[in-house]
């Protein structure tokens, strides 16, 4: 398993922010629910980190709490509401992984098949022929770094490129110039491009857009009325939370409207806190996957497989594992410009949470997540 500090909900994939702890602690969940006033205080401090809004949905063994802070829209000052949509970023990946594992359970695809055989219509290098579907699912593919994507290291650059449009084939082409970084299955590196290929695989197997497969297999059966894959529409419709970025001159710019094609297949999802909670419940209860497929979601690669930084592998076939002071959580982080989402559940499902907030710096610390983690696992 992965042993992580109290920053365990912070999205280790983004910046290696989660520290690996030495020693093994027994998994356990705190017996008492946090004080609601403390939870409200944890999400109401919108200065650490700088943010315009936050909302948190928690369930502790049937005791549910929901709280909000800030404004969904700075222009109107409207407060955040439970049904507001937001960009969920890489929480898209568990949805894609669920569909892939459903297709595998139905006998329609082979997890051990080479991706070059599964996607013959793509111009993939021969050096990719050892990469299998499983390697894509758990980020052990070793795919090369991107070439030809814009530098988005400043908020001004993000705004300049907010309406750039990418096709999935163009995204894949950016990683076809070099050989894999490592032999597939031997190391782990979190890469969104793995799920671009998986979404293309879903389309090849089903003969439908991957968004339609997610809609018919997950969204509609679970009645996730606020959840969708926006496709080519850069806007958020209906009640939603706006995202903002702080420019280098100190001004705030609204980045809610953004072409999400650069995150095709791996980070496009729009959802609500209630919907993600319902998805989480269905996923772990077995409503979406049979037991042998569900096991894939909570199984990490062998101990010999390490992250590129030398730390233990922390991604399964669709989720990530984090341990906070001895308590193991499974879930996923998501980031989109102006938005961050954390969706996690303790291994015994005694504690479940969905947090969404709107940080304004391009990169920022995870103070809010740390405060919540300290309350959940004291």
* pLDDT at residue number 245: 98
Q: Is residue 5 part of a domain?
A: no
Q: Is residue 2 part of a domain?
A: no
**Could you give the CA distance from residue 276 to residue 333 in angstroms, rounded to a whole number?**
12
| pLDDT tens-digit map of 17-36 | 332 222 223 333 445 789 99
* pLDDT at residue number 31: 53
No. of helices (H) and no. of strands (E), the chain: 13, 12
Quote the number of domains for the chain. 1
Q: Is residue 6 part of a domain?
A: no
* Local confidence band at 208 (pLDDT 50, 70, 90 cut-offs): very high
Residue range 139-149: mean pLDDT, rounded? 97
Q: Which domain holds residue 299?
A: 12-376
**Could you give the CA distance from residue 245 to residue 240 in angstroms, rounded to a whole number?**
17
Q: Is residue 4 part of a domain?
A: no
Token reading at 270? 């729009």
Q: Tokens 């109290």 sit at which residue?
A: 6
Residue 318 has pLDDT above 90, yes or no: yes
Residue range 130-140: mean pLDDT, rounded? 98
Residue range 98-114: mean pLDDT, rounded? 98
Residue range 350-368: mean pLDDT, rounded? 95
* Local confidence band at 101 (pLDDT 50, 70, 90 cut-offs): very high
CA dist 234 to 269, 270, 274, 356, Å?
A: 12, 11, 23, 20
* pLDDT at residue number 187: 98
* pLDDT at residue number 378: 80
CA dist 69 to 4, 62, 89, Å?
A: 28, 23, 21
| Cα-based torsion angle of the residue sequence 332, 336, 339, 342 in order, rounded to the nearest 10 degrees | 0
Output DSSP code: residue 349. Answer: S
Q: Is residue 286 part of a domain?
A: yes
**Could you give the CA distance from residue 302 to residue 1 in angstroms, rounded to a whole number?**
10
Q: State the CATH number of the domain containing residue 101.
A: 3.40.710.10
The larger pLDDT score, comparing residue 265 to residue 347, is at 265
Residue range 285-308: mean pLDDT, rounded? 96
Residue range 230-241: mean pLDDT, rounded? 96
Give the contacts of 103 (CB within 8 A, at least 6 positions apart).
Answer: 109, 202, 205, 206
Q: Is residue 321 part of a domain?
A: yes
Q: What percentage of the chain has pLDDT greater than the value 90?
A: 86
Strand order in the sheet with 351-359: 63-70, 51-60, 351-359, 339-346, 327-336, 320-324
DSSP for 303-314, written as a single string: TT-EETTSPBP-
Q: Is residue 22 part of a domain?
A: yes
Residue 274 has pLDDT above 70, yes or no: yes
Average pLDDT score over the chain: 91
| pLDDT tens-digit map of 35-88 | 999 999 999 999 999 999 999 999 999 999 999 999 999 999 999 999 999 999
Q: Is residue 3 part of a domain?
A: no
CA dist 83 to 32, 41, 55, 311, Å?
A: 28, 21, 11, 38
* pLDDT at residue number 30: 42
């Amino acid at each position: 398993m992965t042993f992580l500090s109290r920053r365990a909900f912070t999205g280790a994939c983004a910046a290696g922010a989660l520290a690996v702890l030495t020693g093994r602690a027994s998994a356990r969940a705190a017996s008492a629910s946090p004080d609601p006033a403390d939870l409200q205080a944890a999400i109401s401090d919108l200065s650490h980190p700088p943010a315009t809004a936050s909302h948190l949905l928690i369930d502790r063994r049937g005791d549910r709490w929901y709280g909000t802070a800030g404004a969904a829209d700075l222009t109107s000052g409207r407060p955040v509401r439970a049904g507001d949509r937001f960009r969920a970023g890489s929480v898209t990946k568990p949805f894609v992984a669920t569909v892939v594992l459903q297709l595998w359970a139905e006998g329609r695809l082979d997890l051990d098949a080479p991706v070059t055989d599964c996607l013959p219509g793509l111009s993939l290098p021969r050096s990719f022929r050892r990469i299998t579907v499983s390697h894509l699912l758990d980020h052990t593919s070793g795919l090369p770094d991107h070439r030809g994507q814009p530098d988005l290291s400043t908020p001004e650059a993000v705004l300049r490129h907010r309406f750039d449009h990418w096709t999935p084939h163009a995204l894949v082409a950016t990683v076809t110039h070099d050989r894999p970084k490592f032999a597939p299955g031997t190391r782990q590196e979190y890469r969104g491009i793995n799920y671009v290929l998986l979404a293309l695989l879903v389309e090849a197997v089903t003969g439908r857009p991957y968004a339609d497969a997610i809609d018919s297999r997950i969204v509609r059966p679970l009645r996730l009325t606020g959840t969708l894959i926006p496709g080519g529409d850069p806007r958020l419709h209906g009640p939603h939370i706006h995202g903002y970025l702080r420019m280098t001159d100190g001004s705030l710019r609204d980045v809610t409207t953004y072409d999400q094609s650069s995150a095709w297949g791996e980070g496009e999802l729009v959802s609500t806190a209630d919907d993600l909670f319902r998805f989480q419940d269905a996923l772990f209860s077995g409503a979406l996957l049979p037991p042998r497929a569900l096991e894939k979601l909570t199984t990490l690669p062998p101990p010999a497989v390490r992250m590129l930084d030398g730390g233990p592998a922390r991604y399964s076939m669709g989720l990530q594992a984090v341990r906070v002071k001895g308590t193991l959580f499974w879930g996923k982080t998501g980031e989109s410009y102006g938005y961050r989402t954390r969706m996690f559940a303790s291994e015994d499902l005694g504690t479940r949470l969905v947090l969404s907030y709107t940080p304004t710096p391009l990169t920022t610390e995870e103070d809010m997540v740390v405060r919540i983690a300290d309350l959940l696992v004291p």
